[in-house]
Chain A
Amino acid sequence: MTFDGGDVTIETSGFKGGACLKETLDLEKALGVTVKDRKTTEFYEKPLEVNRGQRR
């Protein structure tokens, strides 16, 4: 995340599918600003399959 006065830019990597958007929107809400986000190529990849049977 880069801060420039009231502007915030977020660069993400390692997230699959829309997971990075969820994290970005959460931060945007907390910061009270519109984040200038920059998606990575991973945005267009499928999210990892989650074995829900392991959830408690």
Chain B
Amino acid sequence: MSHVAEVGLTITDLDALEAAASRIGLELRRGQRTHAWWGSFLNDWSDNTRAAALKGRDPKTFGHCDHAIGVAGATPRNGSGGNWEIGLVARKDGQGFDAIYDSYGNAGGLTAKAGADLRTLKEEYGIEVAMRRLKHKRFNVKREVNAAGRPVLVATRRGN
């Protein structure tokens, strides 16, 4: 199976991504030029909102990347039962990286850490970027959880 998905996430801050990933048991592998996935394109997925092949990605490039993210301590391996990874691929417009991965099944063990559709990773990355930006702007920032269980950042101007 090869359900290679391009998720709605543009990475512009690798340091923030590294910190976010480590909080949820993932690790950023800088400079790793391949990422583990099913290993071959089977053209067996037709979700035009997520399928990377239907969003203009050449299937020949699947498995290639500029950086990778995997489960911390897990040795990456292609194919069924392997530890798959997320590939970060430089955008053509030079504005950071797109995240691409094989979402089939439990995404080779990624779903448990990164969440379905990389939801948890997206959340943690957003939180880390916002915290860094707000602290740089001299806000005090506190992380909380709301009644719905969603993470919340409360920022107040220093001196208030």
A1 and chain B: residue at smallest CB distance: B153
Interface residue ranges, A against B (CB under 8 Å): 1-6, 8, 14, 23, 26-27, 30-33
A4 CB to nearest B CB, Å: 5
Known: A6-B7, A27-B130, A30-B13. 16 other contacts (CB 8 A): A1-B153, A1-B155, A3-B123, A4-B123, A5-B115, A5-B122, A6-B8, A6-B119, A6-B122, A8-B126, A27-B134, A30-B130, A31-B129, A32-B9, A32-B12, A33-B126
Interface size on B, residues (CB 8 A): 28
A30 and B150 contact, Cβ closer than 8 Å, known pairs A3-B123, A6-B119: no
A30 and B122 contact, Cβ closer than 8 Å, known pairs A1-B130, A1-B153, A3-B127: no
Most chain-A Cβ atoms within 10 A of its Cβ — which of B13, B117, B127, B130? B130
Interface SS majority for chain B: mixed
Instruction: Bits for B1-37, please: 1 = Cβ < 8 Å to A, else 0.
Output: 0000001111111000000000000000000000000
Interface SS majority for chain A: mixed
Number of A-B contacts (CB under 8 A): 53
The reply to whether A32 and B152 form a contact with Cβ atoms under 8 Å apart is no
The reply to whether B130 and A31 form a contact with Cβ atoms under 8 Å apart is yes
Does B135 make an interface contact (CB < 8 A)?
Answer: no
- A2 to B148 CA separation, bound complex (whole angstroms): 10
The reply to whether B123 and A27 form a contact with Cβ atoms under 8 Å apart is no
